Structure 1
């Protein structure tokens, strides 16, 4: 990931607040997370932005975490017309019909158990790896799963922020 100042970071630092807020909302749907990052502008380096993101993610309440997760489509069903979710879930693109059906079944069972989508940093993961993670995590106690979700959200946010501030 980028660790020094870039034209993209400079652009983010100087954008009007409403434009920067909209860009951050594309990264993470939590209003509290976005507000925390906006309030700390300007950032000297991308790493400073990533560390602020990590801190804001760690401070999210349960309600804030729910709001963040609501911005993520289920694995195997990226939001139509959303290149970000399609890119992140690329590992499911060539999945067999059997794997897609199993993921749908597991996603529904997970949502029934935990009340939210299964969240995993899917960038670079194969469909099989995502299925294995879902099968492993569906038996977690809710408190443990919530912390895993927070960790996965932090990874996703860093990847998306890197794209936001990377040079064009």
Structure 2
């Protein structure tokens, strides 16, 4: 999709596309409300500001759309396809997958939510190292890290919508 189409498309056409980037209605609404955009930089700035403004409850809502690191997202949705590509660095090594599974469980037990990381370009070892390091965070620090990772994912995915 190009910027001109993004600026002129009906909101109902764009809502699911934007929700695939970040499944939070206020984020989607903020981006739609600021149309038309003169350039991608302005669109990215609005998306970035809207992501930074998400509440803890909205971050939690968005996490529901993200699979665990190491789990292969199922289905034909845009989110599932993006997730499979983003997590391509996980690989198929059984020992690494087992370590990620154990790490995910420890993380969920400690923080009560799925471990989220902007996985694009990371190896399985890098993801696992990050997961283990983040298990030492206090809850407030980790909430801020999760918020930042979600923001990075949303902006990265937005660049897939409008390259």
- TM-score, length basis structure 2: 0.93
Runs (4 or more) in structure 1 with deviation over 2 Å come to none
Corresponding residue of 2:36: 42
Unaligned runs of 5+ in 2: none
Alignment of 1:17-166 (within 5 A): 17-81=11-75, 82-92=80-90, 94-166=91-163
Q: Secondary structure at the match of 2:20?
A: helix
Q: Is the 8 A contact 1:95 1:127 kept in 2?
A: no
Q: Distance in 1 between matches of 2:108 and 2:13?
A: 33
- TM-score, length basis structure 1: 0.91
Q: Secondary structure at the match of 2:114?
A: coil
Q: Is the 8 A contact 1:28 1:34 kept in 2?
A: yes
Q: How big is the alpha-carbon RMSD for the aligned residues of Structure 1 and Structure 2? A: 1.1
Deviation at 1:78, TM superposition (A): 2.7
Q: Distance in 1 between matches of 2:92 and 2:44?
A: 32
